[in-house]
Each structure stands twice: as C-alpha cells, then as structure tokens.
Amino acid sequence: MTLPDVVVPCARIVEQGDPDRFRTVMAAPVSARAVLFPLYALNVEVARAPWVTQEAMIAEMRLQWWSDALEEIADSNAVRKHEVTTPLASVLTPVMARRLDEAVAARRWDVYRDPFEDEAHFDRYLDQTAGHLMWTAAEALGAPADQEDAVRSVAAAGALVAFLRAVPKLEEAGRIPLVDGTHEGVAALARRIRMRLTPPRLPAGARAALWPALGSSQILKQIERTPGIVADGAIPAPLAPWRLSVAALTGRAML
C-alpha cells in the first residue's frame, strides 16, 4: 500500500517543517500515514503562521485562513482547495475540525509578546495546541473515548519538552515564555506535568499518535534535576532513534 497522491504534499510539508513527527509517521503502519500526514501538515502550517512575519495583522490573517478552512470542514461545506485542506477534509469529523479550530485560536498567543496570565493559561495553551492535535490523531486512528485524558497527558509532556527547548529562542525574540522562569519554577513545572502523565491503553493501530512524545518523561526528570539546562539551551532531543524503533517493533511507547 502506497501513500495516496493527494497526501504526498502533506508528507513533504511535515518532512521539511517537523522532521521528528515525520519520522514517527514513517515508522507507523502504512494505513496510518494517510491520516497522520494531513493532521501534522496542518499543525506545521498553523504553528509557523505567527513566525513568518513581523506584522501581527498579517499573522492574524494567516491564522484566520486556517480557522475558516476548518469551519468549512466542520460545517460540511465546500472546502477551499489547498494541498493540506483537501486530504484533511477526508480525515476530520465536524467535531475534530472544531477542536482543531480551537488549536488555531490558541496559536494567537504566539503572535504577540504578552506573557501567559497564569499557570492555568499556560496549561490551556499546551492542551489546546498539542493536546487537541494528539487526541485528534489518536481518535482518528481508533482510540476509545475513555482514553482521551490519558492521551492528553502524554501530549502535555511532549509539548512541555518542546516548549522548554524553545525557551532561549523565545526570549531572544522578546517573549516571556514562562510564568516562573527561575530554576525552582522550571523544576516545579516539569515535575507537575510529568506527574500527570498517564500511559494510555490504545489499540495497536492508534499508538503511533503517541510517538511524538516518546522519551518526554525521562527528559522532564532530567529538567527537574538540572533545570539550568533550559536557559542554557542544553535539553537533549527526546526522540532518540532507538525509542522509535522499540515502539515500532514492539508497540511499547517508552514515554
């Protein structure tokens, strides 16, 4: 079974814009790739929209374009033709499309320089971006509804590692990324998100949705012990090739 032609452009977008997720999809069963590539291509496009311009209005317009496209999918209307929206429309249910529209709205934080209001705001940002994406991927691959909270806990762990790795660049860009950027605050944040992590019980066909977060728990433990690695930009990449190989061969996700 080969990748449908309509999905190939999505695969290229993910390969160029999110190589780690690309690796997880290529390690997944072939049947899952036509589902995951459009979802992850959407994520690439939405995540980079606030960063391709210095003009907030232009960034807002780019995000609004994706919001409108997801609204068209949710309403079962004719969907604008685009290399991502066309295959995406065949993957998403109306509920999924509205969920991902919330992820687009959450990305508006990236447009501006305002700090997070509080811990709850930060947690909501992680959940509405990474949590919505991972749960939609898992659900589209057959995950049962009673595993949603567990899947979202995995997404939060993976998203926090990625966010903390980006902290030096965010600060260089004039952002205030953390509610408490002290060593103590960073360690407490890593501990709090890690302690929430609950490994989901998913059917084999849905487990690839978790793979972008492989290794996150171990990295968060390291940050708890040595929080200075965040400011130093020294957080190691969690998606070690051996972790992905183990997951693909055995079905065990070493989170």
What are the pLDDT digits (tens) for 47-71?
Answer: 999 999 989 999 999 999 999 999 9
What six digits make up the tokens of 194? 């890690």
pLDDT score, position 176: 95
Whether pLDDT at 242 is above 90: no
**C-alpha–C-alpha distance, residues 31 and 29, integer Å:** 5
Q: Give per-residue burial for 36-53: e unless 16+ CB within 10 Å, then b.
A: bbbbbbbbbbbbebbeee
DSSP assignment of 60-95: HHHHHHHHHHHHHHHTTPPPPP-TTHHHHHTT--HH
**C-alpha–C-alpha distance, residues 62 and 48, integer Å:** 10
Mean residue pLDDT across the chain: 95
pLDDT tens track for 210-228: 999 999 999 999 999 999 9
The pTM (predicted TM-score) of the whole model is: 0.96
Q: What are phi and psi of 51, to 5 degrees?
A: -105, -5
pLDDT score, position 1: 57
CB atoms within 10 A of CB 73: 23
Whether pLDDT at 41 is above 80: yes
CA dihedral 157, 135, 141, 243 (to 10 degrees): 0
- Residue 232 has what DSSP assignment? T
